[in-house]
A and B are shown apart, each in its own frame.
Chain A
């Protein structure tokens, strides 16, 4: 398990999600694929936090608690991305329901034709 392997998994998950977003017609599946892409990005952030040193720990300054904590920047990033993804999923499904109520369909091609 090296950083290259973890980034490979992260990139693969992102690519699978990207394929799902483009290749599916149902909006529900598209949102699922979007969540997969979010997860791929967060894996990369956590991997960098795990395998690469924080800059504040390398510059030779007297060590502070803040410098030690900066080794966890990737984790903080992961928490924020997760929160945004959760809000996005809730809002996206509300939109899908609104669309379903208006046109009895959840397909992207129908959404493109919905002008009202």
Chain B
């Protein structure tokens, strides 16, 4: 079994408690602005979790996109919509929702604990371990360059915690996005442009002024 230091484990539970506690505040808080602030904190906790899981780039993206952009969008939405002061009232589906959420959680937890997950320790090829944890040499260039690497002489020292974890994950992820996932990457760009234009179109002043007058009269 992989060894993880107790400090990492402590940090993991701390970040998890922050994430889940603030998430509970988001779904129970009546004041929507406070819920938005709690949501930003919950996103930050998830970002810390990514760092603990050695996904640095994903963690940075999480903080930039979620904490930096989406949370600000939420705060703007709360400020724009005036009658939010009346609060976010619970709907009639609260009991059904709680039951469904408990069932979903029970099913996921049962699956997590009753599945024999393959372990990262199954990587036995010493070159693979060396390539992940140490510097490695690409023989030739291009998509399918062969890896050559010497297994670290004192392999016990290198492994334990970071065994099977790619050390330089950011540059490898960058190469991966523009080689293996080129098409998906381009489509995501197209999707974001479409979402941007769609958002602008929806937010435009309504073409017929009669509709807004009706809205004002009823207000």
Contacts and interface: CB of A to CB of B under 8 A. Distances in A.
Contact of A100 (B32, B73, B81): B81
Interface residues of A, number: 90
Contacts, number: 312
A93 B90 contact: no
Interface of B is mostly: helix
Nearest to A36: B23
A64 B172 contact: no
Nearest to A6: B53
A72 B147 CA distance: 17
A1 B4 contact: yes
Interface of B: 1-2, 4, 8-9, 12, 16, 19-20, 23-24, 26-27, 32, 35-36, 39, 42-43, 46, 49-50, 52-55, 57-58, 61-62, 65-66, 69-70, 73-74, 77-78, 80-81, 83-84, 87-91, 93-94, 96-98, 100-102, 104-105, 108-109, 111-113, 117-120, 122-123, 125, 127-128, 131-132, 136, 138, 143-147, 164-166, 169, 172-173, 175-177, 179-181, 184, 188, 191-192, 194-196, 198-200, 202-203, 206, 211-212, 215, 218-219
